[in-house]
């Protein structure tokens, strides 16, 4: 999961840019998730959902034929929430979280919008009117500058950042299953837009283990072993459908 935060002052268009980037990434084949950060609590004062929360429930699930929402009493880091519910998108776009240590796109309309409480080094791109580019360069010298209407350019930047991230995770086993002689050749082809993402069969990226909501860092061999052992055991059980797509295993220590 690659995380990018869209930050900016109030009413600079952050949600609009998140929406347009999500649409482009989705049409490009990415699995995309989003988080909306706010300093205010969700306004549920007059709803039955809020009444259940006020009664003391630790979690409340709201469901309807169109959507489902889960309300939790405690705050959690965005990436930990996704691990907790076993959700692993390719891209996670966050509107807000200025203090989070992740790459950020800053959206600005006016000069004052450039001066926000954020670590300058985390700003990878600044989207603002051309008249503000000089000021933006002084404030964020390492950021790439985009005009506000340049959505294609901003998405190209986002896609390139993800490809760099994906290429850096290749195992360098040179198995040639991706169609290239070496992992470095595949990475280069990705960067030059000559190859498709997801062709590496050695990363075992879909095998994950979390203990108390903390995901463990696993190398290729333990991922492969876990996958083989769990699949072999589960497939001996009755009721397992042919062609299943996912296995979730939860083990809780009842003594604690």
What integer pLDDT is reported at residue 207 of this predicted model? 78
What integer pLDDT is reported at residue 45 of this predicted model? 55
* Closest of 187, 183, 189, 186 to residue 171, by C-alpha: 183
Q: Percentage of residues in the chain with pLDDT exceeding 90? A: 36
pLDDT over 80 at 164, yes or no: yes
What integer pLDDT is reported at residue 256 of this predicted model? 56
Indicate where the chain has its CATH 1.10.15.40 domain(s): 169-200
CA quadruple 150, 152, 154, 157: dihedral positive or negative?
A: negative
Mean pLDDT of the chain: 85
Decide which of 78 and 154 is more confident: 154
CATH fold for domain 169-200:
3-methyladenine DNA Glycosylase II; Chain A, domain 3 (1.10.15)
Indicate where the chain has its CATH 3.40.50.300 domain(s): 2-38+75-160
Per CATH, the number for 2-38+75-160 is 3.40.50.300
């Amino acid at each position: 999961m690659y995380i990018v935060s869209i930050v900016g002052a109030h009413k600079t268009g952050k949600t609009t840019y998140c929406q347009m980037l999500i649409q482009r990434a989705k049409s490009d084949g990415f699995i995309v998730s989003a988080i909306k950060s706010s300093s205010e609590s969700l306004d549920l004062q007059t709803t039955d959902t809020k009444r259940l929360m006020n009664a003391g429930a630790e979690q409340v699930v709201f469901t309807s034929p169109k959507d489902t929402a889960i309300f939790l009493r405690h705050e959690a880091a965005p990436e930990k929430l996704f691990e907790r519910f076993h959700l692993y998108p390719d891209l996670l776009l966050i509107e807000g979280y200025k203090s989070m240590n992740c790459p950020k796109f800053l959206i600005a309309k006016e000069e004052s919008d450039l001066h926000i409480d954020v670590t300058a080094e985390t700003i990878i791109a600044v989207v603002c009117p051309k008249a503000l580019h000089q000021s933006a360069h002084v404030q964020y010298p390492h950021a790439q500058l985009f005009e506000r209407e340049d959505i294609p350019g901003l998405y190209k930047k986002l896609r390139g950042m993800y490809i760099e991230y994906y290429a850096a995770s290749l195992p360098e086993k040179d198995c040639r299953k991706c169609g290239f002689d070496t992992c470095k050749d595949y990475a280069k082809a990705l960067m030059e837009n000559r190859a498709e993402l997801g062709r590496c069969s050695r990363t075992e990226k879909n095998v994950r283990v979390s203990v108390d909501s903390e995901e463990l860092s696993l190398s290729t061999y333990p991922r492969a072993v876990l996958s083989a052992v769990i699949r072999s055991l589960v497939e001996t059980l009755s009721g397992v459908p042919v062609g299943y797509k996912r296995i979730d295993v939860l083990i809780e220590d009842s003594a604690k």
